[in-house]
Amino acid sequence: MSEKMKAAPTTNRGAENTYKYPLIIDWITFSGHFTTFEEIIEFLGLKNSGLEFEECPPRWFYKYSVTYDNHITLMMSQKEDYTRCCVNISGQGCRLIESFSCYSLLDLIKRVAALEDFNVSRIDIAQDVIDDNFSIDTLVRAYRNGNFTCRSKFSNLMQSQNDGIKGTSLYFGKQSSNCFVNIYDKRAERGFTPEDMPNWTRIEIRLRSVNAEGFANKLLTDEDVGFFIRECLITI
């Protein structure tokens, strides 16, 4: 295997994310059967991207690994005549896919879901609601009054202050669970005040295992990607 494998720029095409508050894909991990790293790079739509993947220490019990700046990592192991591979795309890796792949992130997830013997083990999704009619303070009041339902026994409210700016986060579920939700004041996190901009609430949902698979399979039949944020918030 060469120390570096080149993979150069094309336009990003694919399913449009047209919901009022667009859905953000912020992490993807999937595994399946590929025979070479070059085959994975082509599957990701990065064959002509110009990105250079370098060898890196093996990860997650796989024998071989290559990565682009630790943002897109490809892993591979071979047992007898069968090759098993894993692809891990971080948040910054997702932004690279948006910039350099010939597939959109939603189309890439659908490509994985359509294949047999492929498994989606993690998908992180997010939504930014920039709207003065939607405030995290309203959610906090509802939380403190017990006006919410949550299947998980774990939920938490955290508040902090930095340079006079109060930050607020609501958590539902464990970070290691199949569905973990974090709702927080993105405006405060970025250091903005109410005078600088409207309310900016970030909703982040980390899906693992069956929930990640469910999201991927749902995409095959439903183009309204906004549905999943609503369904998750209803059922947490």
Residue 90 φ/ψ region, left for φ over 0, alpha for ψ in the -120 to 50 degree band, beta for the rest: beta
What is the per-residue pLDDT across 27-54, written as a single tens digit (0 to 9) for each? 999 999 999 999 999 999 999 999 999 9
> Could you list the residue range(s) of the whole structural domain that residue 115 is in?
4-124
Give the DSSP H or E segment for 23. strand 23-32
Give yes or no: residues 228 and 132 share one domain: yes
pLDDT at 113 over 80: yes
d(CA 14, CA 109): 11
Tell me what pLDDT residue 56 has. Answer: 95
Give yes or no: residues 119 and 131 share one domain: no
Give yes or no: residues 185 and 104 share one domain: no
Q: How many domains does the chain have?
A: 2
Which of 230 and 172 is assigned the larger pLDDT? 172
Sign, CA torsion 204/23/91/105: positive
Tell me what pLDDT residue 12 has. Answer: 37
Give yes or no: residues 63 and 164 share one domain: no
pLDDT at 122 over 80: yes
Give yes or no: residues 53 and 109 share one domain: yes
Give yes or no: residues 177 and 92 share one domain: no
